[in-house]
A and B are shown apart, each in its own frame.
Chain A
């Protein structure tokens, strides 16, 4: 009796256990309930649009325009000098020509640019799945190509041969090797050409900030020019001219918050100050809860770190009556702050004690000079370094298009057209500088016009991340009588070193026949 009960119990338990076991092993198959995967996402135009927006968002990460992008360009130009002892080590290395392959500033920008490429590739690749809104889909693809073209242009102009990725990486082992500069230029040109053809000239207000046809043509012009193809550059840039851009009435409007998306702005990065003095230090620019501003103010503003200040050479480039010029260039005062200037809507006066760090020497006079372009103190008082400021960063403005056209026309031996473009820039209301020729800048030959272009571009676009690439291009052509970069060593410093992280982790880097590292590193 008792024994039977026990056996029944045992059999019951065994059955229960077996049934449970069988049922449970199936439960081992689980998928993440909170996140979509590549198999389930990027299926419709809305998702593709969000993929496209993610390219823009990396664009304003600290790796790129919010911080390291402007540092990399500025540290390699002669517009800038160290503001004092607080300039961090990797930045100082770049400024002084000691960049090592593990330089974090450079490497962050490298990663940021390739993240742009990866996200652009994602949009381009998965667009084939999207059928619900082909108009939007095609626009997304065009925007993605604009960014991919831009990113490869940045890469090739700074690092020379780099790996070329045209499809998104989905499995480990999809390593790509370095390809020659002309291949990269060709790719950038192809992407930007296709983007220009498909992008709209303007967007509805809610979409202001997206890449336009004008942005693509202007960028294409830059690429052709840097690649030495001035005729193609001219063609592209003339397309921009057709799109209705004009110079702003006030030069300073190009660097202020209230005058964003103005008629001069061809393409700008959108920043937004969610909370004062807060910046997204996460570097990737991801995470919607993070601040969406730029670090520019805490780096350059007179009342902040002053990590980089305008170089004496730049300050002395401006035309001043004291130096025998017919007119003092008003752009000087609109580009930099000096002790004694007012700020905070005229309510405060800048003192030496406000400005930490080094003084400048301008034509023999020692004083503290800081960047005014993109500095928020024009409307703010002391207090806080305004990291995370919301001024949109103008990547391309129409004045640069005109000056590029001037260079193209000069190179294509149309001096008249070149001079006209230069003078068009000088005609801006509020600037209204006397036309070339000047006594100091005659324009009787191609060489003289080149000098005028070099001068005009520097005073118009100083501190706007243009100069370093101009140096590269003009150095190649032998336009400099004295090398602008004091540490410059030929066969080395024209290019940055390839990131050590890339060398360590990309076994195929040199598989295409180009060595892993650039010359001299």
Chain B
């Protein structure tokens, strides 16, 4: 029956069209079940034939069939008694009943073990953890000293069935129902008290013959298995700083990407919104380690290092592990400097039945904040203030004769009475929806998980959206005792209508501010239907942002991603395994940008422009891994050796052409077509070795080395070694801690490691290429990279070649050394947990684009060189409280991360790297400076000391400019050419004004369930950072006549002197717009990131309502960014970066984070 259902589902999927071939590989049939919890274990069906066989052999056989272990004392259980059983496809529980009932043996399931006890037994022997129990020689030898006592739990209640063993001997016993025991032991011997679910407790036998022991429950997560690079580890054995985030947390928020789901979930991991739908947020683990390059972590999905997480469905995730410190991450060597995020997808449960889940939500989202912009009347007032003061006539449009004209022929509205609210026209509410349907299941031989998902996020502004459809199929098969096989396959297709002004200084939001209020959005008399101001008539030339979004922003990115891995594993012995993995990551991008013919009066285009970009990238991964994992008495040893190679081939092309009609969006018949294509290739070869050693479960040691060879560097620099080591001490396992009632877990860890910056994909495109440069040390000639139309004739393609780069064969990895010291503490049976990590990260060899002087003639070209060093010190703390009993259960988790960044050195002692300059934003002077001794990209500019109130004050203050007048900003004279104030305001008077890095970032997550209701509340915030609000330069800078915010009406005048807005004067002769403290704002915010309330229909009601067809049913409502507490004056305080480096925290008019409301459904079948 079930098999038929599986097959039906398979064929159902096939009909949908999900790569049938791979499905055949994925499903091999389901024949056996596997225990996971008590009932599941006992409900499984097995075949067994035993004719007069010893019980121990029968149990061994069952153990093998079911992959479970029997735990019993050979003394109490008649292991050698012979029994006969014949069972055809019968429940394991039934079989066990048949065997044990006659013998008065009871059994219960504990994890992966079935524990046997004898009815009415008061004594049992120590644990024997082998499925073939060696019958120990347990002759009760001379008992030197009888010891008796009692074992209690934390609540002081007696504990029955606790095993007591004299260390190093086979003497043992267990407690009775009253928790009492008696055993013979010599003084000086150690008694070991153990019981499943409790921490092992040690007592040294002294003079006292009566012992009372209180066992401390072991928290479940201590035995949780954590994915580490190239393997797994028990949480209790970890020595590095690794944070694990489970599926429930990842899927709690309606966000398209894993990165966004991780915001506020891991101490030390910061995620910052960076724009419209389809834009990846900025993810940083423990700060910024690189100056010139984006400090993105390495993402590893099911063992495959990849990127493009935007296209990945977070609902498929089983768990995410964040490797924060170098000792954990260094196993990824040259790519691990920015931390590693390991993503493990679901594999299906070996439950013997299918689990079908539907997870769906739909919601709406909107911008949560607006700023006050000028209306038409106010604009007129502002224009007179600005131009009038400088004796400049109003633009012709504002003359009454023109201003009282209809806004277009036939319109009843005139410019004078037209009032366009550009924010209202540009912002809108948008749909947000996601649906994921998954089917999973499996048994002892095979298991699988497959899913199909759809996500759509409309913009909260016109003209942008992101949409994705995806499929997944994961499966695992045990072919024989020796061989197993598995595969993962993910396919996603996404379509993104993006903001094609991205990276430009005149974003649509800038134009929302700059657009003038008397100009209408739409004009039916123009070609294209939109309207713009005209520079010669209106004296201003903002672009209509709605037109820009809807008409000119007709730009799409379509991405097809295929990520698949397959592995074969050979288990030579239970301890020695070899695994060979092969994977492919294929990404195909097609970008189509169509700019139609239009005429908005202010702007026009007489030819339609088609701009197509196509790139394909195919990454192939081979991993050959040999691992050994064995326990010898108190020693546990795990050794891993890996050979790996990962190579990418990429091809990229671009075609630009023009059509004389808007009807054709292809190159067919296009004119002035230009095209280029390039190909590129890189290869990474790695050798990895790692040793984990554990003594007595207390002392932990781990060491690893990775040797990476990368094609990207020049010959001679290709290989580098990345070592790491860490130690851990589980203090709670020590005998002196065993009596502690309060401390349930205590571990200290220390680790050191060296990592590198991934050299792949970080180097900017060469001219006429769509691909990242894989050959950064080679200077290339731009063959035909320019054109000159001799005789007024345009050659087809370029006719001019040049080079503007310098090669640097010495280029190599940036290297980061990191020290991490951590503490894990659990109190009151881990109801309270604390995890704290202190780290120091120092990056040497920083690759800087050492600027060349203009006189080199390389036209801004710099030379990449390994110069400079930077340090990040920080502290990550996670504190949680869990209440896991009673009707009202809740937990509260707080995270806080402190980080301190400092640049240690650059290429020369006084070198500075200035960034962020922009003509429109303050006249072109740079806004950030990076220099030794300061945090990276500190905001840089002048200090404002108020406004000059009188000419006298101007005359008696340091000289600023000939035109400085009352009403202008007074800048502070702090220095001069000699380092002393010189009575003049010059660039020497610029100072460090603040930094985008917060003092700390924090989050608070509260989850609760009461009866069938559940709720979660998630706050996230940053404290102590500054924002360079460059948007205000546009909205209230008054450098040129444009639409502005109402702040400009507060400008200084001789009669309005109590203001902090300087005078309005056309041309801004005193350069009041220059980068200064005027634009620096506090960026702290606290945001209710998420609030969700859910209701689960009780199982009984569901059963009667649906006749068992629906197993679980939960509905929920939620809201994201419901409120934000901040003093920031812009649209949103979460500010990303214009071009990922050195402009973080400058608000150039960034697409704001949205507020959303949604309703969702989770149904299990």
Contact = CB atoms under 8 A, between A and B. Distances in A.
A90 interface: yes
Which among B599, B797, B1067 has the greatest number of chain A C-beta atoms within 10 A? B1067
A89 B854 contact: no
A505 B779 contact: no
A182 interface: no
Contacts of A162: 855
Interface stretch (A192-200, A317-325, A356-364, A454-462): A356-364
The winner among B570, B794, B852 for most chain A CB atoms within 10 A is B852
Interface residues of A, number: 123
B711 A27 contact: yes
B865 A172 contact: yes
B800 A53 contact: yes
Interface in A279-313: 284-289, 292, 302-306
Question: Which of B622, B643, B804, B961 gathers most chain A CB within 10 Å?
Answer: B804
A209 B535 contact: no
B535 A286 contact: no
Contacts of A6: 572
Interface stretch (B364-372, B675-683, B892-900): B675-683
A101 interface: yes
Given A165-B855, A289-B656, A17 B572 contact: no
Nearest to B682: A30
Contact of A117 (B857, B925, B987, B1067): B857
B595 to A, nearest CB: 11
B1041 A86 contact: yes
Nearest to A293: B789
Contacts of B769: 34
A246 interface: no
Nearest to A281: B504
B962 A487 contact: yes
B708 to A, nearest CB: 10
B853 A28 contact: no
B788 A56 contact: yes
A162 B856 CA distance: 12
Nearest to B926: A102
Nearest to A86: B1040
Contact of A208 (B790, B800, B801, B802): B790
B913 to A, nearest CB: 10
Contacts of B540: 86
Given A208-B791, A385-B535, A41 B854 contact: no
Contact of A357 (B392, B789, B1039, B1073): B392
Interface string A445-468: 000000000000000000000000
A33 B649 CA distance: 11
Nearest to A284: B859
Contacts of A168: 857
Contacts of B607: 275
Interface string B1064-1101: 00111101010000000000000000000000000000
Contact of A84 (B392, B599, B624, B854): B392
A104 B718 CA distance: 40
B220 interface: no
Interface stretch (B309-317, B349-357, B393-401): B393-401
B770 to A, nearest CB: 11
B133 interface: no
Contacts of B1039: 89
Interface string A344-357: 00000000111111
Contacts of B390: 85
A85 B1040 contact: yes
B778 A31 contact: yes
A212 interface: no
B777 to A, nearest CB: 10
B739 interface: no
Task: Determine which residue in B540, B570, B678, B859 has the highest number of CB atoms from chain A within 10 A of its CB, and name it.
Answer: B859
Contacts of B680: 32-34
Given A30-B775, A57-B787, A359 B393 contact: yes
A21 B687 CA distance: 10
B643 A277 contact: no
Nearest to A210: B790
Nearest to B718: A28
Interface stretch (A68-76, A221-229, A430-438, A494-502): A494-502
A328 interface: no
A35 B710 contact: no
A304 B656 CA distance: 28
B780 interface: yes
B604 interface: yes
A291 B652 CA distance: 23
A398 B361 CA distance: 76
Nearest to B797: A288
Interface string A475-496: 0000000000001000000000
Contact of A53 (B778, B788, B852): B788
Nearest to B604: A384
Interface of B is mostly: loop
B614 to A, nearest CB: 15
A504 B402 contact: no
Nearest to A46: B801
A37 B806 contact: no
A35 B854 contact: no
A47 B803 CA distance: 12
Interface string B764-803: 0011110000110011111111111111111001111111
A302 B854 CA distance: 34
Contact of B709 (A25, A33, A98, A270): A25
A507 B853 CA distance: 9
Contact of B785 (A174, A210, A286): A286
A14 to B, nearest CB: 9
A53 B799 contact: yes
Nearest to A90: B924
Contacts of A118: 804, 856-858
Nearest to A209: B790
A287 B252 CA distance: 47
A85 B911 CA distance: 37
A314 interface: no
B314 to A, nearest CB: 34
Interface string B584-620: 0000000000000001010111110100000000000
B806 A85 contact: no
Contacts of B803: 38, 41, 122
B604 A277 contact: yes
A101 B791 contact: no
Nearest to B573: A6
A442 B500 CA distance: 63
Interface in A36-63: 36-38, 40-42, 47, 50-51, 53-54, 56-58, 60
A392 interface: yes
B787 A89 contact: no
Contacts of B522: none
A30 B774 CA distance: 9
Nearest to A278: B605
Q: Which among B570, B924, B961 has the greatest number of chain A C-beta atoms within 10 A?
A: B924
Interface string B709-722: 11100010010000
A274 B794 contact: yes
Contacts of B393: 357-359
B787 A37 contact: no
Contact of A304 (B536, B780, B807, B987): B536
A89 B791 contact: no
Contact of A270 (B604, B788, B963): B788
A135 interface: no
Given A292-B787, A383-B604, 13 more contacts: A60-B788, A90-B919, A98-B961, A111-B854, A112-B859, A209-B790, A270-B788, A304-B535, A355-B396, A358-B393, A383-B599, A499-B854, A507-B908
List the 7 closest pairs (A to B, CB-CB), nearest first.
A118-B857, A85-B1066, A288-B798, A35-B780, A506-B853, A353-B396, A53-B800
9 contacts: A28-B709, A31-B775, A33-B681, A56-B788, A172-B852, A274-B672, A286-B782, A288-B784, A303-B536
